[in-house]
A and B are shown apart, each in its own frame.
Chain A
Amino acid sequence: MNAVSSWFGGFIWTGQTVAFFLLAVLVVLAAVTLLQFRKVMHMALSIGLVFLGMAGMYVLLGADFLAFAQILIYAGAITILMLFAIMLTRHDEVEEEERAGFRQWIAGLGAAALGAVMLWAIRTTAWPPASAQPPWPAQKSVNALAETLFTGYVVPFELVSVLLTVALVGAVILARKEE
């Protein structure tokens, strides 16, 4: 009893936590409906919603620049690109015969177990009290990001260019092969 209440208890209901839960519910719902939709167009739209929700999360965490980039690139560019691709190509409705549930049940159980363990791990950890100050002032997050990227993480930053090239070329090759 105590253990369970300690998992869920101890929230301070501030505006931030309310916003967090609203966004969390939005993201989870959008992700779940994404899997349930039959039409590709609907799927693309709901993934856009997921991206938007995540941007909201970043704002809550004080990562303004990241939130901005998220909206610009993911919610904007990528979702739009997907919509274009869908509109320009032929797409049948994916009729998935509902094979009732043994696998779904197991998957659900597994996911629930995983979620429970994670929740348990997080809630039972004695976290240090959150510092009042965020690690950097909100308006400086761009600078902080840039500095980290170009000093400590310059090697992976450069390597990402190789990764992106590979992904791009790979997509082209696989798409061309289909013709």
Chain B
Amino acid sequence: MTTVLQGIAFADAWRVMAPEMVLTAAGFLLMLIDAALPPAAKRAGVSTGVALIALLVAGVLALRRFGQTAALGPGSYLLDDYALVFKLLFMGITLLILLLSLDDHGRAEGARGEYTYLLLFATVGAMVMASSADLVTLFVGLEILSVSSYVLVGLRRSSKSAEGAMKYLVIGAIASACVLFGMSYIYGVTGTTHLAEAGYTLFQAWDSYRGIVVLGLLLMLAGFSVKISVVPFHMWAPDAYEGAPTPITAFLAAASKAAGFAMLVRVFLYAFASHFPEWGGLWVGLAAVTMVAGNLLAIVQRNVKRMLAYSSIGQAGYLLVPFAVLTGAYHGGNLYQDMSALYFYLAAYALMTAGAFAVLTVVAKHARSEDVDAFTGLFRRSPLLAGAMAVFLVAMAGMPLTSGFAGKFFIALGAINTGYYWLAGLMFLTSVMAFAYYFGLVRRMYLQEPYGPAESWRTPAAAALVVVVALVGTIGLGVAPGVMMHSLPGLNWFGQ
């Protein structure tokens, strides 16, 4: 008997997944370099340089694909603008994180090379999550990102780091099991792992196989919720964030979360959209609970990293809103509008998070502490850091003329448009709560005298670059959100 094996030509693969291929190749190259070079050689500079170049090349390749659509395998791996905007976001974040970690030799010296290529592989995993339209591919991407993240969190030589990695690993494994189990239910009912086909089958199967389908949906939702740290599946986040090297914390908070959203939206939109109004209420509830709990819990934190961790949990709540409100009125125009709002806020959030963690990195290095006390009187020590941190904090709280406000505004607008007035009100309320604890930190930085000798703190050039980029982005998107917001709905989002 003969089976015709249908191969995939390299040209096709290159067309669809060139950025991933470049980054993967760069990752393996770095592994080789790492093994070949003597440990005394300045690995850090070389590997970071290679990684940066690879990211830039991949970024250019991604940019050139905008507006095109293609698929690999029988539609299991997609090239569309939805995937591309997310990939650009991931690569941008990774670029900033790499720059930021240029100065973080101190605690992760032994693992410099690994640090860089694991970060690249994690980025590849995130990109796969954004692009795949197949449950299996999706899961592989998710695992690449997760496993790299577990290791990255555990890189520091401290018990906190090991503890964080451990907790992340265990809870992450539970989440993966949930996702996989849920996927198996969906596969069982539809007989396919392909999202769009599954969605078509589920349209009819929804009523006859309701219990199974809904259980599968719920299990997947729970698993994804762990990844994007939605309350009550958020428990791992503060510990992992606290234990990880600070740039990695930024990566988890920004890129990892964005990847989770990219995956979440793709899966639920492709597979379950037909019965959206029925299950969409779940999202609304999760969004509300997450917003409130994240912001409330942040108030009692004294460690700035933990505070930012809880705040990022709260932000996940805001990010759930645009998709949640689609339940109210699900149609094309609305979808693109809400996708734009989601993406805008993700980008804004990634920038301010990267910036805040960049400041934290520098401060923690000088003060040897991540406690809020380290920030006391920061203005006297480094006006740049204090000013930038203040901007990032008020942006997270949603101060007008910062990107945080513009993003929240678009999201709230979507909620109001579809009649979820109370959700918009809740967003406003939690924002006010957020102001309370962020302003405490701002006041501490500006109005109090620093503890210890009033030396001024130098900001390393690379970290300063990250801070400035984040600052310009945060203010730029706040003052002129139209620049980005007008171009987003015009994208060829899902290639229809």
Contact = CB atoms under 8 A, between A and B. Distances in A.
Q: Do chains A and B touch in the complex (CB under 8 A)?
A: yes
Interface of A: 117-118, 120-122, 124-126, 143, 147, 150-156, 159-160, 162-163, 165-167, 169-170, 173-174, 176-177
Do most interface residues of chain A lie in helix, strand or loop, or is the interface mixed? helix
Contact of B140 (A120, A124, A151, A163): A163
Interface stretch (B2-10, B53-61, B336-344): B2-10
B31 interface: yes
Contacts of A151: 5-6, 73-74
B137 A154 contact: no
Interface string B276-296: 000000000000000000000
Given A162-B124, A167-B147, 20 more contacts: A125-B208, A125-B209, A125-B211, A126-B208, A147-B5, A151-B74, A155-B77, A156-B134, A156-B140, A159-B140, A162-B24, A162-B121, A163-B125, A166-B144, A166-B147, A169-B118, A170-B151, A173-B111, A174-B165, A177-B155
Interface in B146-182: 147-148, 150-151, 154-155, 157, 165
Nearest to A122: B212
10 contacts: A152-B73, A152-B74, A152-B76, A153-B136, A155-B137, A156-B139, A159-B137, A163-B144, A169-B151, A174-B154
Given A126-B208, A154-B8, A143 B3 contact: yes
A128 to B, nearest CB: 9
Nearest to B135: A156
Nearest to B154: A174
Contacts of B359: none
* Nearest 4 A/B pairs, CB to CB: A121-B211, A170-B151, A156-B137, A156-B140
A121 B5 contact: no
Contacts, number: 101
Contact of B212 (A121, A163, A169, A170): A121
Chain B: number of interface residues, binned into ranges: 35 or more
Looking at B8, B24, B211, the one whose CB has the most chain A CB atoms below 10 A away is B211
B110 interface: yes
B477 to A, nearest CB: 33
Contacts of B74: 151-152
A163 B28 CA distance: 12
Interface in B29-85: 31, 72-74, 76-77
Contacts of B140: 156, 159-160, 163
B73 A153 contact: yes
Interface of B: 1, 3, 5-6, 8, 17, 24, 27-28, 31, 72-74, 76-77, 110-111, 114, 117-118, 121, 124-125, 128, 132, 134, 136-137, 139-141, 143-144, 147-148, 150-151, 154-155, 157, 165, 208-212, 214-215
Given A152-B73, A174-B151, A159 B211 contact: no
A170 B153 CA distance: 11
Contact of B73 (A155, A167, A169): A155
Contacts of A170: 118, 147-148, 150-151
Looking at B76, B139, B165, the one whose CB has the most chain A CB atoms below 10 A away is B76
Nearest to A168: B147
A163 B143 contact: yes
A154 B147 CA distance: 21
A156 B142 CA distance: 11
B399 to A, nearest CB: 40
Contacts of A165: 28, 31, 121
A177 B111 CA distance: 9
Contacts of A150: 5
A159 B138 CA distance: 10
Contacts of A153: 73, 76, 134, 136-137
Nearest to A151: B6
A62 B128 CA distance: 32
Contacts of B212: 121-122, 125
A45 to B, nearest CB: 22
A162 B76 contact: no
Contact of B151 (A120, A154, A155, A166): A166
A143 B144 CA distance: 28
Contacts of A162: 24, 27, 121, 124-125, 144
Contact of B215 (A121, A166, A176): A121
Contacts of A154: 8, 73
Contacts of A147: 3, 5
B31 A169 contact: yes
B181 to A, nearest CB: 9
A87 B37 CA distance: 34
Contacts of B77: 155
Contact of A156 (B76, B155, B209): B76
A155 B155 contact: no
